[in-house]
Amino acid sequence: MRQKRKSKIDGQFAWQLIEMLESPAYRVLSLSAHRAFARIQIELAHHCGRENGRLPVTFEDFTRFGIDRHSIAPALRELEALGFLEITERGRAGNAEFRAPNKFRLTHRSLDDGTKPTDDWRLIKTDKEAAAIAKAARRSSPLRQTRNKKPVGENPPKPVGKTNTETAQTPVGETLTTVQCGNPHYSLYLGEGAGGVSLSESAAAAEKPGIGHSAGPPLDDLSIPAFLRRE
């Protein structure tokens, strides 16, 4: 007489498809990701198989299950990138009254409203693809504010407008000399907007009285050193 096969499991269990266990995405999971995946399935069992999509698991739950605190976030990113879970609600840190955990949906389990599993892990077809996705997910950092951050190697934009002088080409080996004439400092070019004139214009002004001296003293009165004056 053939013995009747025992098919009943004594106690709670978390079922998983053999196809999922053999998938490329499952085979590349890190140890921390395996533990995090198991802990979320345990949470579903604690909710009697319900509340998938609203499963709250705290960082303390993960650490008590044996996951290093610094490995939790990379493990969750890895699981989500490989299609095993979805973080449906992002938690927040803070004081006890303001703190909230992440809430999860396991993609291989149905929802309370009868929605079938999405099994997103099936989208990954090869071991190479799975390994690249897992590696990138573990290394990626959380989203940061970069709006006010200047890209590397980019200079700030210069304002466009009128200038008092045109850029003069200085011969090789010579530098622009700044002359101190009391206080404030005056450069070789005395701004036209302030009533001053350039050294070249001062020579023309010397031959044509009244030109270049309407808004200030003659250039000779500014105590320019002799080696800078036009003979």
Could you tell me which of 106, 107, 131 has the C-alpha nearest to residue 120? 107
pLDDT in tens, the chain (231 residues): 566 676 788 888 898 999 999 999 999 999 999 999 999 999 999 999 999 999 999 999 999 999 999 999 999 999 999 999 999 998 777 666 667 889 999 999 999 999 999 999 999 999 999 999 999 999 876 544 333 444 444 454 555 555 554 444 544 444 444 444 444 443 444 444 444 444 444 444 444 444 444 445 454 445 555 555 554
Whole-angstrom distance, CA of residue 110 vs CA of residue 168: 75
Find the Cα–Cα–Cα–Cα dihedral 144, 54, 37, 111, rounded to 10°: -130
Structure pTM?
0.58
Sorted by where each begins, the domain ranges of the chain are 18-139, 178-228
Count helices and strands (H / E) in the chain.
7, 5
Give, in degrees to the nearest 5, the angle at Cα 121 between 116 and 123.
Answer: 100
Residue pair 205/197 in contact by the 8 Å Cβ criterion:
yes
Half-sphere exposure of 53 (CA within 13 A, CB side): 11
Whole-angstrom distance, CA of residue 25 vs CA of residue 41: 17
Phi, psi of 73 (to 5 degrees): -60, -45
Whole-angstrom distance, CA of residue 183 vs CA of residue 34: 74
- Kindly write down the DSSP assignment for every residue of 49-70, as one continuous string: T--TT-EEE-HHHHHHTT--HH
Whole-angstrom distance, CA of residue 47 vs CA of residue 41: 10
Residue pair 229/200 in contact by the 8 Å Cβ criterion:
no
Question: How distant, in Å, are the alpha carbons of 33, 79, 80, 109, 185 from that of 120?
Answer: 16, 11, 9, 11, 71
Whole-angstrom distance, CA of residue 211 vs CA of residue 191: 15
